[in-house]
Structure 1
């Protein structure tokens, strides 16, 4: 039975610590991580006012290299980068046991990760790996897969799933009386953040359900 663990970890136990310390208002949301034989290449969204400054600061961050800007939206930009060997922290701990990072969100004060483990034994190995290398983490929640279908099957992160579901349940899509700000208040986020979550959620749903790619 697959396990889903939610962890809080300090900034120094993950990537981009130097960048987040210098830019405390920036929020980074990892969308997915591509693993190769030699390195890990994450795709991540950066939410902030000055993306050019983010790129400049990241040039001297030892945890990443080959930063590439892929897509730009209102206040959110999609990047891809390579994690370097300097990131010998929880980044490589989960690959040691074959687990998968489903979602990660970070600011200057730390990161929140959602990791899937295929077996209970994988979680135990993950904990042992972290303990042996003194990698700090706090397990916030642990649960098993109880539903056969999840939003992640359609490329949705947990935050995108929650935003779309809240908007639907509050009849945001059906009633002109429900404003974006109303749904944002329910989720305790800004209307701008909600707009970006809905936009990326729509995009993922369309890509996973309507777009047909030829061979």
Structure 2
């Protein structure tokens, strides 16, 4: 049974501490990530603050290497880079536990990370690892996939569900709607790119857990 766990971790205990200190207005949202035994390579959006300030800070930050612009979307830029310091917890979660990061957002104050674990045993294994290595992961919320009527059944995070429902309630999906992505983003208090990411991830989870499920074979 899948378990969804949201952890909070102080920025000074995770990667990019210096970047956030030098460019405190920066907000980072991880798009996807690859991990090896000693390296984390995320694709991530920067959606707040000065991009020049962020890039200057990142260039001087020893915890990040090979920063590269991948794409731009109005008020956000997608980057790729190698993160090399204070990332042992994520590397362990990916390579040893098989956990998946559903969402990860970082600011000058805190990183919010939401994981999906295959079961409680793997979650407990991850928590034990954090305790043994002095990693400051605070469990903020925990959900089991038990109720088929909840969004967790479809592997939606709270933010993805809020984005989908808010867009639907605003009439964004109606054929002749005059509601824009910007309108919905303003309602949620996030950037258009952050909203676009959450909607896309929400669609992906809904399709994977509903339309691609193999139906039972019909009787002859």
- Using structure 1 for the length normalisation, give the TM-score: 0.78
Shift of 1:34: 0.9
1:137-174 CA-partner distances (Å, limit 9, x unpaired): 221111122455345xxxxx753553232111232343
Secondary structure at the aligned position of 1:139 is classed as strand
Q: Say whether residues 1:149 and 2:163 are aligned partners.
A: no
- Work out the CA distance in 2 between the residues paired with 1:197 and 1:107: 14
Partner of 2:127: 127
Partner of 1:212: none
Partner of 2:139: 139
- Work out the CA distance in 2 between the residues paired with 1:10 and 1:38: 21
Equivalent residues, number: 198
- Work out the CA distance in 1 between the residues paired with 2:108 and 2:40: 22
Taking structure 1 as reference, are residues 83 and 4 closer, same or farther at Cα in structure 2, changes over 3 Å only? Answer: same
1:68-125 CA-partner distances (Å, limit 9, x unpaired): 11001111100111121x2255333423433222210010001100011112111111
Secondary structure at the aligned position of 2:154 is classed as coil
* TM-align CA RMSD: 2.8
Q: Say whether residues 1:34 and 2:34 are aligned partners.
A: yes
Q: Unaligned stretches of 5+ in structure 2?
A: 208-220
Q: Unaligned stretches of 5+ in structure 1?
A: 152-156, 210-215
1:17-76 CA-partner distances (Å, limit 9, x unpaired): 110111111100011111235522111000124212211110121211111110011111
Shift of 1:176: 5.7
Taking structure 1 as reference, are residues 8 and 99 closer, same or farther at Cα in structure 2, changes over 3 Å only? Answer: same
- Work out the CA distance in 2 between the residues paired with 1:203 and 1:117: 21
Taking structure 1 as reference, are residues 180 and 69 closer, same or farther at Cα in structure 2, changes over 3 Å only? Answer: closer
- Work out the CA distance in 2 between the residues paired with 1:74 and 1:43: 17
- Work out the CA distance in 2 between the residues paired with 1:181 and 1:68: 27
Partner of 1:23: 23
Give the conservation status (yes or no) of the 8 Å contact 1:41–1:80. yes
